[in-house]
Amino acid sequence: MCGIIGRVGRDEAIDSLLTGLENLEYRGYDSAGIAVQNGAGINVEKQSGKVSSLTDSIDRNDLAGRLGIGHTRWSTHGPPTDENAHPHTDSTRDVAVVHNGIIENYAEIRSRLQRAGYEFTSQTDTEVVPHLIQRNLDRGVEAETAFRRAIDELEGSYAIAAICDGEDELYAARQGSPLVVGIEGDGYFLASDVPAFLEYTDTVVYLEDGDFVTLRSNGVRITDRDGNPVRRDRHTVDWDAEEAGKGEFDHYMLKEITEQPTSLAQSIEGRYDPHTGSVTLDDLETFEGISRVLLVACGTSYHAAQYGTIALRRSGVAADAILANEFSLAAPPIDEETLVIAVTQSGETADTLTAVRQAADRGAKTLSVTNVVGSSAARETDQQLFIRAGPEIGVAATKTFSSQAVLLTLLSHRIATDTTGSSSLPIGQLCVELEQLPALVETLIEASDARSIARRYRDQESYFFIGRGFGYPVASEGALKFKEITYEHAEGFASGELKHGPLALVTPETPVFTVFTGEEDETTLANAAEATTRGAPVIAICPDGHDAIQTADAHLAIPDVNPLLSGILATIQLQLVSYHAAALLDREIDKPRNLAKSVTVE
Ligand code: F6R
């Protein structure tokens, strides 16, 4: 959802700015641009298209300078044209600005500035910012104050960075969109996310909403809105650049699918006792007094939340999953006995943050299940459960889904035990199988037939995914992944729903991926048969030796484990099918069109 990068140092900024943009491209890739200040003016290069086109077309000599900002865009206001690409400048190019977020009152500011004679060249909300700064400079105030006063006029969400001609400082402000400072021996970075500068430094300071930061090559100053100094702790991030890189894989997505034996092992390590069956989950406080759990999330995380909801209900806890963007209009009653769990890989999804804030306002206790330490969700919730899946760069979420699902399952047992004194989950068996899970996932990935199935069923009209119980969110997730990266039409249904409408669309050109989790499989088989009768090929995702294989056209094998885990294993097969189908279609797998990894607008 747009990535911003800034660099102030003793060396030339251009290389680290371009590296930063490449590393941030997962946040948006409609257009890219850079502005560098060298004491003799600000030079800007920007264009629609990917960072690689920018890199290929620029002359680095024209962008000499030790202070600069850059941006990779996911369009909100205005199409992805050269004019709408960031950085935006004022008419004299004395000021350059990059922005992530949405300025809600931009239309009113724009008309006011236009009436005062300021000329606009783009359709973006961002362009008001350099003009506001310039207007303040015109009034004779110094650059930092000009920046602060401009920011004071904005309503909405933003992470904004600006440079001004003749100033060797970079100014930035955060309100509702992520911003992190990287500290290196020879200077400072500013970025939307840590991977932007991980090659250069792992020492970071996470900025909070309301923070202003001024960076120079020899120092950083963080203040609040009123200019009072603010102390923010330094952190050392525990991933390295290699971990965040693509390694020998063609795509991040395949790397991240393949990493699941490790990411799952990291997620569960030390969080339960296989001998006693107790679930510790770090030092989460007791959930005593909670009578109802509400999980809020979007996209893939919503499917994990649905998975967790089933686990909670099975444990004996009243639970619901709600799409975060529906929360304000459709939330059930909430009080102090409600626990609201924000399930969010990035911890920055605006819809999810808004929902959790509204829930907190109504008295709910809050917990985030997230991958990103220092994210907004982690900072704003009462308690945090980090999924520890490692960096996920591919826009399509994969390893974070399996880690979310497995941790929500463990959390269900813990919440049930705390609130009712017992849990109905078969925790003994679960703990034994969790010990085997990483090895089972490794074998599944090595032996998967997903590639040949993707080849066999290419060029179909539509792709359906069905399942029941835990298999339903898995089917929904299978369809989301498939449509997201192949651009083919795909839908996920509860298998019992097929006959209530979707069957009208089933033809011999509609492969039906059917998930069997070991619960009510005969009924799911009957639902699959309804599709077979209409000529549709059925691909059964089930253990070897399962009855479904006899009538299915094809089979993707999963180990025969408890349904709580078999759904997770089935998801991995479906991730691989989507990946290989998209690879055969030559899609931009890591950067599917119109999407971005971190959606920081509502
Ligand atoms: C799909 C995908 C998205 C995200 C959704 C929520 O592959 O990645 O659907 O799951 O945007 O993101 P987080 O989990 O960061 O809140």
Q: Dump the DSSP string for 76-129.
A: SSS-S-TTTSSPEE-TTSSEEEEEEEEETTHHHHHHHHHHTT----SS-STTHH
C-alpha of residue 314 to centroid of ligand 1, in Å: 25
> Across the chain, what does the average pLDDT equal?
94
C-beta neighbour count of 240 within 10 angstroms: 12
Whole-angstrom distance between the N-terminal and C-terminal Cα of the chain? 11
Residue 557 pLDDT level (bands cut at 50, 70, 90):
very high
Residue whose token pair is 């729903």: 497
- Does residue 384 have its Cβ closer than 6 Å to ligand 1? no
Is 450-584 the same fold as 252-443?
yes
Q: Which residue has the CA at smallest separation from atom 11 of ligand 1?
A: 299
- CATH of the domain spanning 3-236, picked from 3.30.1650.10, 3.60.20.10, 3.40.50.720, 3.40.980.10: 3.60.20.10
C-alpha of residue 500 to centroid of ligand 1, in Å: 29
450-584 folds as Rossmann fold (3.40.50)
Alpha carbon distance 382, 486 (integer Å):
39
Alpha carbon distance 543, 560 (integer Å):
5
Closest ligand 1 atom to Cα of 370: 14
Q: Percent of the chain scored above 70 by pLDDT? A: 99
Q: Is the pLDDT of residue 20 over 80?
A: yes
C-alpha of residue 387 to centroid of ligand 1, in Å: 14
pLDDT number for residue 32: 94
pLDDT number for residue 598: 77
Whether 322 and 293 have beta carbons less than 8 Å apart is answered as no
Instruction: Give the list of residues 6+ apart from residue 495 with CB closer than 8 angstroms, or none.
Output: 466, 467, 468, 471, 472, 475, 514, 523, 524, 527, 528
Whether 298 and 325 have beta carbons less than 8 Å apart is answered as yes
Residue whose token pair is 């068996």: 429
Q: Is the pLDDT of residue 242 over 80?
A: no
Which residues are part of the catalytic machinery? 2, 597
Closest ligand 1 atom to Cα of 302: 10
Task: Please give the helix or strand (H or E) that residue 205 lies within, else none.
Answer: strand 203-206
* Pocket residue to mutate for ligand 1, from 74, 177, 300, 594, most atoms within 8 A of Cβ: 300
* Pocket residue to mutate for ligand 1, from 256, 301, 483, most atoms within 8 A of Cβ: 301
Q: Which residue has the CA at smallest separation from atom 5 of ligand 1?
A: 299
Over residues 357-384, the mean pLDDT reads 93
Query: Which segments of 167-271 does DSSP mark as H helices, in order?
Result: 241-244, 252-258, 260-268
In this predicted model, what pLDDT tens digit does every residue of 89-131 receive, in sequence order?
Answer: 999 999 999 999 889 999 999 999 999 999 999 999 999 999 9
C-alpha of residue 137 to centroid of ligand 1, in Å: 41
- Does residue 396 have its Cβ closer than 6 Å to ligand 1? yes
Residue whose token pair is 């092992």: 265
| Residue spans of beta strands (DSSP E) within 363-485 | 365-370, 383-386, 463-467
- Does residue 524 have its Cβ closer than 6 Å to ligand 1? no
In this predicted model, what pLDDT tens digit does every residue of 51-69 receive, in sequence order?
Answer: 989 999 888 878 899 999 9
Q: Is the pLDDT of residue 139 over 80?
A: yes
Length of the chain: 602
Over residues 505-509, the mean pLDDT reads 96
Residue 131 or residue 238, greater confidence: 131
Alpha carbon distance 510, 561 (integer Å):
29
C-alpha of residue 398 to centroid of ligand 1, in Å: 10
pLDDT number for residue 115: 96
The whole-model pTM stands at: 0.82
C-alpha of residue 377 to centroid of ligand 1, in Å: 14
Closest ligand 1 atom to Cα of 395: 8
Q: 3-class DSSP state for residue 544? A: coil
Instruction: Give the list of residues 6+ apart from residue 40 with CB closer than 8 angstroms, or none.
Output: none
φ, ψ for residue 441, nearest 5 deg: -65, -40
- CATH of the domain spanning 252-443, picked from 3.40.50.10490, 2.102.10.10, 2.40.160.40, 3.40.190.10: 3.40.50.10490
Residue 1 pLDDT level (bands cut at 50, 70, 90):
low
Closest ligand 1 atom to Cα of 345: 14
Sort 209 into a burial class: Cβ within 10 Å, 0-12 / 13-18 / 19+: middle
Domain limits of the chain? 3-236, 252-443, 450-584
Q: Is the pLDDT of residue 295 over 90?
A: yes
- Does residue 253 have its Cβ closer than 6 Å to ligand 1? no
- Does residue 301 have its Cβ closer than 6 Å to ligand 1? yes
Residue 275 or residue 83, greater confidence: 83
Sort 236 into a burial class: Cβ within 10 Å, 0-12 / 13-18 / 19+: exposed
C-alpha of residue 298 to centroid of ligand 1, in Å: 6
Q: Which residue has the CA at smallest separation from atom 3 of ligand 1?
A: 299
Closest ligand 1 atom to Cα of 481: 7
Closest ligand 1 atom to Cα of 599: 11
